[in-house]
Amino acid sequence: MSSIPASSFLLLAIILFCIGLYGALTKRNTVVVLISIELMLNAANINLVTFSKYGLTPNLTGHIFSLFVMAVAAAEAAVALAILIALYRNKPTILIDEMDDLKH
Amino acid sequence: MDLQTLLSFHWDTMMPEFIILISATVLSLIDLFIGRSFSRKFFGWASFIAVVAALVSLISLSDHGVTTILNNSYVFDSFSIVFKAILLIGTALVILMAISDKFENIEEVKSEYFYLLMTGLLGAMFMSSSGDLITLFIGLELLSISSYILVAIRKENSKSNEAAMKYIINGSIASAILLFGLSYIYGLTGSTDLAAVQQIVSTLSGTELSGLLGLSFLFIIVGFTFKIAAAPFHMWAPDVYQGASTPVAAFLSVVSKSAGFIIIIRVLLNIYAGAYSPDGQLPLLINMQNYIFTISAITIILGNAVALMQTNIKRMFAYSSVAHAGYILVPLAAVSPLLFENIWFYLLAYTVTNIGAFAVIQYVVSDENNENIEAFRGLYKRKRSMAIALLFFLISLAGIPGTVGFIAKLQIIASALANNPINITIVVIMILGTLVSYFYYFRVIAEMFFKGDRLELQPPKNEIPFNLIVVIGVCVAATIVLGLMPNLALDNFYKLFS
Amino acid sequence: MSSSGIVFSIIAICAILGGLMMITLKKVMHMTVAMILTYFSIAALYVLLTAEFVAVAQVLVYSGGITILMVFGIMLTYHKAENRDEEKVSSFRKLITFLSVATLGIVSYFLVAPVDFVAEEIFVGDHTKAIGEILYTNYIIPFELVSILLLVALIGAVLLAKKDKEEANE
């Protein structure tokens, strides 16, 4: 299994991170933006797990860190959707560019 | 590791955190079990007492000496004591403000308000005393998620919902980027313990991997500039401040921002100050100084320029707080040796003046049901004490001699110049920014003192609530006393660091 | 290419495909489902990296929890016209964003390419037990902090999403 170089894992993480970042910056639908953010967090997790096998001193800390990230991601998603539901109750839209009550 | 080792740590140094944690939990349980008809008025005072108790216990621990628990995942040192003191003072004042918060005559006091403020504070406190990337990240997220909910808590108000939505989306993107940077740090060093990271990073100099270290620096700095609302990631601040209730806006502009600077100092100085650039000459931080320099300059210019155009008082203060973030970045950009002291004193000055200003804003805005600057018209004739208090806060924010804001700015400028004359550019930008800021601060002052016909003016409908009198009184006193005798605070600071 | 290399390539292609589908599909529900493909591929990647526990957690939390949460979010805010992600964002802005993100990706790749760490067997034996031991000793403070964070998220989500009593009675 060691035949796969570390950089291919890291490259995959970069590609996923960029897809997520692009989605988060261009999509109009709030739910899609949230999914894109989850993809970015996943990319960071791939890095963490990769580095805990490949590294100067491989250790399990990367696994622990990625588990913490998952907990945080779930909490963030739950709060974001709760805010979305509260928003939808007052103003039935979930499109980001129609959220323009606040002056610019 | 057995129980014996676990118990051998100095858990007593965590006393302030335990007090906050226990009182937040107990309050949430009480909230769950007492009936709906029960008044929850006492929640505010109870949480205020808890925060003050935490502050007292922190002070009583101040001569405890440096302690670390579990491989640096909790560090108790002078750095954490001084910055935690700011966080606790800031939150205590914000809680006092929140007790009587009204908007459009709706009582805004919600019991959740207070324990969410305390969990946010808990996150910030762990950020200031952690030497481990995981704990830092979790503390940051605890603070952020509590703040998202606090902004959204006026859920019948569509502006508030919208502000919260923007905040959580921008905040999550920023923390994802930050996390991506942190994952490279872990990868390059194989550790999340900042002390170990620092050691290994210093051996990376000259290798090809130092490029990756630079990349991680960029990712991390993006995540942090969002947290402190520095340009170009400040766009959330005005919307969120406007949509959130006034005490929450004060919390974000003071406690959340201080926590952002704390984590910046912890991470940047620990990791990058020891890392050397690819040519093996200068520490990476010195190389990357230009980025911080640019961020700081853009933040000062943009924050002040856009603040000039605002008509909503909360948006104006949001941009002014963006500009202040730029000023606080100057010591970092200049890498001055007195960096801790400068940033700490500036944050202290900013905390007392800004919270005081927000307390006056809260009173006027809820009395007039109007968030525009016109709400302050003729305030001097209507409510003399309020106008004079706000005058002190505004001239302190503007940095006029005799106030604490002046001393803080002077220190930053003096030590930046003393360190290296090249810093004259950033100092000039800072002074010009300050001059521009006079225009918008004085616009409010002019509105209060010189405008408004005596006959047209209505006397205020509500008396000033007792809790706001306390907040404003404390803040005015601190603004003046620290402005005349800054050594009262600085001596304590030096005593801890000697 | 070795057998593990082939496995890796297949997984990587699936993961990227899921991500691209998420970006390009029109219906929000389809996008959400496309992400499940990515989540499962990433879980498979973790198995390849001998991180079985993280892989299982990935399947449970992402494919299970977060996707379901998103589906609920879509259903509770269902609005026919809006659950299609139509082309209203100007293509110029999209192009600029694409170019800058692509630049970031390429630069990152060149900086990451020199990473030539060799894989090592980090732990022989029961990973899950080792993770548990570290989690409950060295990382007990962040662990407890996460429990507070989840509690805060729980209280916040309930507080924000529930209807107030007076409203519900009307």
Instruction: Provide the residue type at B398 as one letter.
Output: A
- A37-95 pLDDT, tens digit per residue, is 999 999 999 999 999 888 778 889 999 999 999 999 999 999 999 999 998 888 776 67
Note the Cα A97 to chain centre separation in Å. 21
Residue window 120-139, chain C: list those with CB within 8 Å of chain B.
Answer: 137-139
pLDDT band of residue C121 (cuts 50, 70, 90) is: low
- Whether residue A84 lies inside any domain: the answer is yes
**Range of the structural domain that residue A24 is part of:** 6-98
List chain A residues with CB under 8 Å of B141: 72, 75-76
CATH of the domain at C112: 1.20.120.1200
Instruction: Say yes or no to pLDDT of A1 above 50.
Output: no
**Range of the structural domain that residue C56 is part of:** 3-138
Domain count for chain A: 1
- Whether residue A59 lies inside any domain: the answer is yes
- Whether residue C168 lies inside any domain: the answer is no
- Whether residue A75 lies inside any domain: the answer is yes
Provide the 10 A C-beta neighbour count for residue B181.
21
Domain count for chain C: 1
- Whether residue C156 lies inside any domain: the answer is no
- Whether residue C80 lies inside any domain: the answer is yes
- Whether residue C127 lies inside any domain: the answer is yes
Q: In angstroms, rounded to a whole number, what is the distance separating the alpha carbons of residues B24 and B46?
A: 10
Query: What per-residue confidence (pLDDT) applies to B123?
Result: 96
Tell me if the pTM is above 0.90.
Answer: yes
C138 to chain A, closest Cα gap in Å: 10
Low-confidence ranges of chain B (pLDDT < 50): none
Query: What per-residue confidence (pLDDT) applies to C112?
Result: 85
- Whether residue A55 lies inside any domain: the answer is yes
Joined together, the tokens standing for residue B10 give 């100095």
Query: What per-residue confidence (pLDDT) applies to A104?
Result: 44
- Whether residue A83 lies inside any domain: the answer is yes
Q: In angstroms, rounded to a whole number, what is the distance separating the alpha carbons of residues A44 and B1?
A: 30
Helix residue ranges per DSSP H, B399-423: 404-419
- From first CA to last CA, the distance across chain C in angstroms is 68
CATH of the domain at A32: 1.10.287.3510
Which chains form contacts with chain A, at 3 or more CB pairs under 8 Å? B, C
Q: In angstroms, rounded to a whole number, what is the distance separating the alpha carbons of residues B228 and C88?
A: 32
- C59-87 pLDDT, tens digit per residue, is 999 988 999 999 988 888 876 555 555 55
- Whether residue A1 lies inside any domain: the answer is no
Burial class (CB in 10 A: 0-12, 13-18, 19+), C26: exposed
**Of B202, B33, B226, nearest in space to B143 by CA:** B226
Interchain proximity B184–A68, CB inside 8 Å: no
- Whether residue A92 lies inside any domain: the answer is yes
Query: What per-residue confidence (pLDDT) applies to B463?
Result: 82
- From first CA to last CA, the distance across chain B in angstroms is 35
C101 to chain B, closest Cα gap in Å: 12
- Whether residue C79 lies inside any domain: the answer is yes
- Whether residue A104 lies inside any domain: the answer is no
Residue window 172-191, chain B: list those with CB within 8 Å of chain C.
Answer: 187
* Torsion angles phi and psi, residue C139, rounded to 5: -110, 30
Nearest to C149 among B6, B28, B145 (CB): B145
